[in-house]
């Protein structure tokens, strides 16, 4: 998860941990590829308006890199017209801030289910679901 607002980051971390997810949180996306390599996330929650970077640029970079393009990205944003540009930067879904906890968890589950189905089709020996958010 990349979220610059500490209280939102802490709330999300608590919510997701209580829901059974392993969570790695960052206040910025400067080292996104290092984080991905280290933690191998199944999904990325990404704020758009970060202090030092634009989340749209991070999303584009992740989605344009073959090794990371299949990682689902859910954008978290208070920007009202963000839905109009979701395709432009490659995000899989958008959740508006302030967010409803149940809605966010449902969107996460949907993306993980979709990505696990794709991973299953590419695996021949065994099915090993990712479990990091």
- Residue 33 sits in a domain whose CATH number is 3.40.50.2300
| Burial per residue of 11-23, b for 16 or more beta-carbon CB atoms within 10 angstroms, e otherwise | ebbebbeeeebeb
- Structural domains of the chain, count: 1
Q: Look at residue 34 and tell me whether its pLDDT is greater than 90.
A: yes
Phi/psi of residue 33, nearest 5 degrees:
-75, -30
pLDDT value of position 128:
39
pLDDT tens digits for range 51-71: 888 999 999 999 999 999 999
Mean pLDDT of the chain: 84
3-state class of 90 per DSSP? coil
Q: What is the pLDDT of residues 97-131, one digit of tens each?
A: 888 999 999 999 999 988 765 444 343 333 334 44
**Position 81 pLDDT exceeds 80:** no
Residue 69 in domain: yes
**Dihedral sign, Cα of residue 39, residue 89, residue 48, residue 18:** negative
Any idea what DSSP says for residue 26?
B
Q: Which pLDDT score is estimated for 116?
A: 67
CB 1 within 8 A of CB 133: yes
Q: 26 lies in which domain range?
A: 6-122
Does residue 33 sit within a domain?
yes
Does 50 reside within a domain?
Answer: yes
């Amino acid at each position: 998860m990349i979220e610059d607002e500490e209280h939102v980051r802490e709330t999300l971390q608590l919510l997701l941990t209580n829901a059974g997810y392993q969570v790695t949180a960052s206040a910025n996306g400067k080292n996104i590829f290092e984080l991905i390599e280290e933690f191998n996330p199944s999904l990325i929650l990404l704020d758009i308006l970060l202090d030092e970077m634009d989340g749209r640029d991070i999303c584009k970079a992740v989605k344009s890199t073959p090794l990371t393009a299949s990682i689902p990205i859910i954008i978290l944003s208070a920007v009202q017209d963000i839905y109009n540009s979701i395709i432009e930067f490659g995000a899989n879904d958008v959740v508006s801030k302030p967010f409803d906890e149940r809605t966010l968890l449902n969107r996460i589950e949907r993306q993980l289910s979709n990505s696990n189905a794709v991973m299953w089709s590419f695996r021949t020996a065994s099915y090993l679901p990712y479990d990091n958010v």
